Chain A
Amino acid sequence: MNGPGYYELYRKTTIGMSLIESLDNLILDQRIEPQLALRVLANFDRIIAENIKEKLKAKLSFKGHLHIYRFCDDVWTFVIKNVDIKLDHNEVAHADRIEIVANNSKRIGET
């Protein structure tokens, strides 16, 4: 069942862009209608959100200097400087600056 709308932000990922470009080719070759492409993408939005929620187990923690933060239209933005990132299995990474854009994990229409 399709619930309320899902975020479209995963369309910008590599897998999302690959799907969109494949759909573009199918439309250009006149093998599918644009409406079907939209339907496929709507399914993609749902499936990727569900899979990330259910199957993704990797975690990281980080420490750094919170340089900027803001909350607008239900979206948090954090700019963090001099960040030490700890990944699973004690792997570590460092970044001079990272920006985190966090959308509400609950879907549109939910509180």
Chain B
Amino acid sequence: MKKYLLKRFFMSIITLWAIVTITFFLMHSVPGNPFAKEGKMPPTVYQNLQRKYGLDKPKSEQYVIYLKNLLRGDFGDSMKSRVETVNDMIERGFPISAYLGVEALLIALVFGPVLGALAALFQNKVPDYISMIIAIIGISVPSFIMGTVFIQFIAKNVSWIPIGGWGEFRHTILPAIALSLMPLAYIARLMRSSMLEVLGQDYIKTAKSKGLSKSTVILKHAVRNAILPIVSVLGTLISNLLVGSFVIEKIFGIPGLGAFFVNSIVSRDYTLIMGTTIFYSIILIIMLLLVDISYVLIDPRIRLTKEGR
């Protein structure tokens, strides 16, 4: 296992380098520049700006400089914000987005599998219909509609739930629920179909005929075998939740990380694009590694390396 982890660590560095390189050249080949929105400016001002951010140098040189800074953990100055560096922006936004994301994740992880398992156990009966209707609503109603509906019908009527903003726990309730509905519905559907598959297997019959109690059969035999697909999707799901959602954060006025992903690209804020992309990919790489490790923990038959073959 140690050898495997070490190998994965080196692979991750290569992966990160590939992401940095591709994003860097992709970003520079998209038309437009960071200063296009400032309106017309005298050529000397434009040239000075270019020089300040090192954009006048050849692309390959810019790339080398950027890599060098990156090795020191420095994402550079934002081209749009005068006071904050990219590191500052991520440090400020990430805890907020992550807090909200973890809350939403907990909601989705508690209710999703339970709804899905119930639906499978009572297939084509009332619990199945109820949870699948919830799942359909969660998947097909976009989060911006959910968010505004929550504001209109809950925040406006319940005095202690604020309409938006950030600060205390009560600010997070509505956005976390709105954020959790999609993953919740997705997990519930996945759990249902996976559970149905497992419940028809021979080993469930064996477990039942051994005289095990119903709860033991379900929890120890059915759920453990059915949970694997959910672990698979959790890797991308968690990383997307942690870095925040543009839409939800916009609706509820939350100063999270989500907006940077969109705004940086729209305004061609080169350093911020690189910063957010690298940050996101680090989280993604770690999450996918955790997913691989938990495969082995959940199902010992799974082998990630050739050993033991």
A binds B: no
Binding site for A on B (CB under 8 A): none
